[in-house]
Chain A
Amino acid sequence: GAGVSQTPSNKVTEKGKYVELRCDPISGHTALYWYRQSLGQGPEFLIYFQGTGAADDSGLPNDRFFAVRPEGSVSTLKIQRTERGDSAVYLCASRRSGGSYEQYFGPGTRLTVT
Chain B
Amino acid sequence: DQQVKQNSPSLSVQEGRISILNCDYTNSMFDYFLWYKKYPAEGPTFLISISSIKDKNEDGRFTVFLNKSAKHLSLHIVPSQPGDSAVYFCAAATSGTYKYIFGTGTRLKVLA
User: Which A residues form the contact surface with B (CB < 8 A)?
Assistant: 4, 31, 33, 35, 40-45, 48, 55-56, 58, 91, 93, 95, 101-108
Contact = CB atoms under 8 A, between A and B. Distances in A.
Contact of A42 (B42, B43, B98, B105): B105
A31 B4 CA distance: 23
A108 B45 CA distance: 12
B98 A48 contact: yes
Interface of B: 4, 6, 9, 32, 34, 36, 41-46, 49, 89, 91, 93, 97-105
A81 B4 CA distance: 31
A102 B104 contact: no
Contacts, number: 57
Given A42-B89, A43-B102, A101 B43 contact: no
Contact of B89 (A40, A43, A56, A108): A43
Nearest to A102: B46
Nearest to A4: B43
Contacts of A104: 46
Contacts of A101: 32, 34, 49, 93, 98
